Chain A
Amino acid sequence: MSAHAEFLRAASQDADLAARIKQDYRTAELSEPDRLMLEFVEKLTLYPWLLVRKDVTALQNAGFPDATILHIVLGSAHFNYLNRMADGIGIRFEYQTEIPEAAQPSFGPGSVSVGTPHRAVPESESSGLTWIRFPESDIALRETNEPLNFYRVMSPNPDARQLARDWRSYQMKGTMQLAVRLRSQLGLYISGLNHCEYSSYWLTKSLIGLGESSSLCERLALGESPPDRGSRERSLFTHARRLTHEPASTKEEHVQQLRDVGFDDKGILQLTMLCSYFSFENRVALALGIPIESET
């Protein structure tokens, strides 16, 4: 927040605007479309599972083209990744800033209960179309074992679309200290915490293919950690939950707990990247109403 408030001051040449947005955007003098955009971004960050089609329709009615809405979603979702990386690794702030520090907000991820019920989505909200239109994709329509609608919705930005595909493949299939099966379990658990049915569908499919039981998949998709795990794996799920819902509460002692059960710096980084990645993927899927392929 501190770095980007400074960047906003440079971009806008308006120190008051930057200070107000850093503190609370509601106090800034904004156009109606900008106010709507920031309300959307805040909801996308704090309660993405509560987003419904009418939230996107409100942006469309305010004059935002669909490609712009896509980039609002991608930009904020990627910052949800970066914020979790910053807080999960405990990085030090190295820029200079003159903008006053923001007071502790009365809202925030810490106020979100992991036990929050699944979002109540009206039947019409889960129809087989995304909430924005996008050009025909040149991604092959043949059946693959990939979440194609997640990539297709990014068609207005082909570079981002290809990189999203590569990034997901790296997280799920790349060589890491955590086995692919455990990574998929963690992804499904996080997607359950975020009530993201789209990602949950694909991760369940992947886990079933790896021989996982349906009962464990159902449990993880509800945001419930697996039973009967040793201290090493329990610490992973605890850390994943913290990074998902209360990233700013992460402390060095939590990272030390991971070291105590055998993780080195690289393993801690890989875990942090994996958990943070799903905060991106889940938000893109939830904010754009991406339907499961079998329903299209």
Chain B
Amino acid sequence: MENRTVTDGPPKQGWIQMLGVHEAEGRLKQVYAEMRANMGSRPSVYSTPTGDAPNIVKSHSLEPEGLRLAFSISTAIHWSDKSLPWVKREMINTVTSRANNCFY
């Protein structure tokens, strides 16, 4: 398992270009704005230390439509009135990530 923590290596966000909210233009800027509007009142623990979009979101930034779809379905699954309780969701997310050995 490769730990890509804040202390590791040069300050790269990932292996490909990743655009944040402040660098976004055009369709990407629009998608980020829509995502922010749809986030509602999510707990502050989900906010990144920089206030930018999380890196997992930014990793999709070169494909704004793929970004919109991947995270819209995430919202429908995890953050709708149909969703499981918050604790259960995070138990599932953590165990899935653990089984995949995904450090992030």
Contact = CB atoms under 8 A, between A and B. Distances in A.
Interface of A: 1-8, 10-12, 18, 21-22, 24-25, 34, 37-38, 41-42, 44-46, 67-68, 71-72, 74-76, 78-87, 89-96, 101-102, 104-105, 107-110, 156-157, 159-160, 163-164, 166-167, 170, 174, 247-248, 251-252, 255, 265-266, 268-270, 273
The prevalent SS among residues of A at the interface is helix
29 contacts: A1-B102, A8-B91, A21-B91, A22-B98, A37-B92, A38-B95, A42-B95, A76-B95, A85-B59, A86-B56, A89-B14, A89-B15, A91-B14, A94-B13, A94-B48, A95-B49, A104-B1, A108-B101, A157-B77, A157-B82, A160-B73, A160-B82, A163-B73, A247-B100, A248-B2, A265-B62, A268-B15, A269-B66, A273-B66
A181 B15 CA distance: 27
Interface string B39-74: 000010110111000111011101101100110111
Interface string B77-89: 1101011101111
Contact of A12 (B50, B82, B87): B87
Interface residues of B, number: 62
B82 A174 contact: no
Contacts of B87: 8, 11-12
Contacts of B13: 91-92, 94
B84 A22 contact: no
Contacts, number: 235
B27 interface: no
A22 B70 CA distance: 25
Nearest to A72: B92
